[in-house]
Structure 1
Amino acid sequence: MDTITLNNIRVYAYHGCLPEETKIGSDYRVDLSVEADLNLSAETDVLSDTVDYVHLNRIVKEEMSQPSKLLEHVAKRILDRIFSELEPVKASKVKVSKLNPPLGGDVEDVNITLSRERD
């Protein structure tokens, strides 16, 4: 299986359990990889024969714009959309990081990673 990876997608979003997190918002970073057979597109050089990373980026940005209490929830929504909209994708992994989280200390980020395979 071949891999397409988008690293360090930066977004400003309003996720969190604390009221101020959903009002003030914060910076997030998303790393995404998908596995698919890229042999055809490697031969044809045709966009419609591959997984379009512009489409992947749009899914991430749209799902990150919808507030969630938990990072797991937004990550699951991203994966659900990928599998719903991009049939060639056989597996995917998404890592959502909250930068400078409000933990009362000097913490660079907290993150979760979810991985899924097509049934």
Structure 2
Amino acid sequence: MKSKIILEDIKIYAYHGVLPEEAIIGNHYVVNLEVHADLKKASQSDDLNDTINYAEINDIIHQEMNVRSELLEHVIGRIINKIENQFPQITFIKIKLSKTIPPMSGEMKGVSLEFEKEIN
């Protein structure tokens, strides 16, 4: 059975970016994450030990967003690595990280990076 856990529009204020003022002023970010795993056992047992605790995934996202990085790619890489190590039953992970007010000219909703990883 293919199962997905999706965390949608997690809003976090953080201090990522290459520009010095980004380390001081910070920015609003939105994180979306999807993981795949076989959760059939949990669907039958009603036991938290048989599933992936998405509250723990949320904690990982918040912890890694609190570690300042210049590149959003680095933040995403850390989140993926930590989730993959903590939840070996995950077979696929997709994360989208959006900076809502990037320091660039022009009006826009934001800038996003999205990584996907198949895990064997």
TM-score (norm 2): 0.96
Q: Report the alpha carbon displacement of residue 8 of structure 1 after superposing the two structures with TM.
A: 0.3
Identify the residue that residue 86 of structure 1 maps to in structure 2: 87
Identify the residue that residue 61 of structure 2 maps to in structure 1: 60
- Unmatched runs of 5 consecutive residues or more in structure 2: none
Q: Do residues 98 (structure 1) and 105 (structure 2) align?
A: no
Q: Report the alpha carbon displacement of residue 105 of structure 1 after superposing the two structures with TM.
A: 1.8
Alpha-carbon separation, structure 1, partners of 2:36 and 2:77: 17
One-letter amino acid of the structure 2 residue matched with residue 88 of structure 1: Q
Alpha-carbon separation, structure 2, partners of 1:87 and 1:54: 16
One-letter amino acid of the structure 2 residue matched with residue 100 of structure 1: I
Alpha-carbon separation, structure 2, partners of 1:38 and 1:110: 33
Identify the residue that residue 51 of structure 1 maps to in structure 2: 52
Judge conservation of contact 1:101–1:108 (CA < 8 Å) in 2: no
Identify the residue that residue 39 of structure 2 maps to in structure 1: 38
3-state DSSP of counterpart to 2:59? helix
3-state DSSP of counterpart to 1:67? coil
Identify the residue that residue 25 of structure 2 maps to in structure 1: 24
- Unmatched runs of 5 consecutive residues or more in structure 1: none
Q: Report the alpha carbon displacement of residue 100 of structure 1 after superposing the two structures with TM.
A: 1.5
Q: Report the alpha carbon displacement of residue 18 of structure 1 after superposing the two structures with TM.
A: 0.2
Q: Report the alpha carbon displacement of residue 13 of structure 1 after superposing the two structures with TM.
A: 0.4
Q: Report the alpha carbon displacement of residue 112 of structure 1 after superposing the two structures with TM.
A: 0.3
Q: Do residues 14 (structure 1) and 1 (structure 2) align?
A: no
Identify the residue that residue 70 of structure 1 maps to in structure 2: 71
Aligned residue pairs total 119
Identify the residue that residue 113 of structure 1 maps to in structure 2: 114
Q: Report the alpha carbon displacement of residue 26 of structure 1 after superposing the two structures with TM.
A: 0.5
Alpha-carbon separation, structure 2, partners of 1:72 and 1:114: 8
Percentage of identical aligned residues: 40
Judge conservation of contact 1:15–1:69 (CA < 8 Å) in 2: yes
Q: Which stretches of structure 1, 4 residues or longer, exceed 6 Å deviation after superposition? A: none
Judge conservation of contact 1:100–1:106 (CA < 8 Å) in 2: no
Alpha-carbon separation, structure 2, partners of 1:14 and 1:107: 20
